[in-house]
Amino acid sequence: MSGRLCLDLAGTKLWRRSLRTELLNSPSDMGRWMRQAELLDDPGPMDTRGLERVRRLREAIYVLVRAWPPGDDPSGAGFRDALAEVNDAARLPLPRHQLDVSGRLTRTGGVDEVLGAVARDAVDLLSSAQFGKTKECANPDCTRLFVDVSRSGARRWCGMAECGNKHKAASYRKRKKQQTVMET
């Protein structure tokens, strides 16, 4: 959806300016996200401490992406704290990838390995030319971030199913209403 693992994690908190919808409500939600992100095949038992660490990294990534590049005067302690959080996590180990005898990939590890993989992806994104293609959804309420890899570079929505279709439907209804008013 977002085009980057770190932005997928940042997207587990929706509507930051209004409804603030948390998608990682429990350790089991976090484990499910790890599987869906294809970081770990079986995250094993998760706890609230691990959940809090993942949420902390998520918020640090969001802060950095919104404030990047830092320029001559990085914007305050929040920015520096977020940078330290991402850099600390980027030093953690990565999930272990191995092949079994049938040639199937297995991904093992725990919270540390997931934090390491996500933080390294954030470091890679922030230090790459691809960062210039990073955008926030054009829906004023939506705060999802994505990398626009479209040929034209004109992508506006986090996804058509989420925000794009809603905007298009609202625009259509508005045009129809105006047309009806003009005809009467």
> For residue 73, what pLDDT band results from cuts at 50, 70 and 90?
low
Quick one: which of 120, 157, 155 has its CA closest to 141? 157
Q: pLDDT of 15-54, one tens digit each?
A: 998 888 999 999 999 999 999 999 999 998 999 999 999 9
Question: Are 7 and 146 contacting, i.e. CB atoms less than 8 angstroms apart?
Answer: yes
Which of 44-48, 66-70, 109-113 has the least mean pLDDT?
A: 66-70
Check residue 69 and give its pLDDT.
83
Q: pLDDT of 117-132, one tens digit each?
A: 999 999 999 999 999 9
Residues belonging to the chain: 184
**With pLDDT > 70 as the criterion, what percentage of the chain qualifies?**
86
Check residue 112 and give its pLDDT.
97
| All residues at 6 or more sequence positions from 3 whose CB lies less than 8 Å from its CB, including other chains | 146, 147, 148, 149
DSSP string for residues in 116-145: HHHHHHHHHHHTSGGGGGEEE-SSTT---E
Distance, in Å, from the CA atom of 109 to the CA atom of 114, rounded to the nearest integer, reads 7
Distance, in Å, from the CA atom of 21 to the CA atom of 176, rounded to the nearest integer, reads 32
Whole-number mean pLDDT of the chain?
89
> For residue 169, what pLDDT band results from cuts at 50, 70 and 90?
low
Which of 13-17, 158-162, 168-172 has the least mean pLDDT?
A: 168-172
Check residue 166 and give its pLDDT.
59
| 14 pLDDT above the threshold of 60 | yes
Quick one: which of 113, 112, 83 has its CA closest to 96? 113
Check residue 41 and give its pLDDT.
95
